[in-house]
Amino acid sequence: MMNSKRNQTIAIARFLMYKHSLNQQLDGMTDEEYLADPIGLDVGSYVKDLMRYCPENVVDQVMEHQDALLRRLGTDYLSVIAFMPYEEDGGVRYA
């Protein structure tokens, strides 16, 4: 199930929604505010899921075009997909 299209789509949507949320939090934040309370340090878990469920070339494309993908797909669509459970061993696993 590692490379199922469902899991790939969910992993991509979760990463993009995380990126969108992070961008909103960082918008207008000063360097001093960020240094006092760093955000975005949990990005590794989203990248880990991308690497787990997607081929390397897909991960590379998502990383390269993440802002364009967010604009094109929109957060309404992505948020629905991001909350879907992963398929694992014939069942589903929620985030």
- What pLDDT is recorded for position 1? 46
The four Cα atoms 22, 26, 27, 33 give a dihedral, to 10 degrees, of 160
What residue segments make up the domains of the chain, in order of their start? Answer: 5-93
* Cβ-contact 10, 60 below 8 angstroms: no
pTM assigned to the model = 0.85
Amino acid identity for residue 2 in this structure: M
Mean pLDDT for the chain overall: 91
As a whole number, mean pLDDT of residues 17-34 equals 94
As a whole number, mean pLDDT of residues 8-19 equals 97
Taking 80 as the threshold, does the pLDDT of residue 93 lie above it? Answer: no
* Cβ-contact 22, 43 below 8 angstroms: yes
As a whole number, mean pLDDT of residues 70-85 equals 95
Q: By three-state DSSP, how is residue 16 classified?
A: helix
Taking 50 as the threshold, does the pLDDT of residue 83 lie above it? Answer: yes
- What pLDDT is recorded for position 28? 87
| Rounded Cα–Cα distance for residues 84 and 60 (Å) | 23
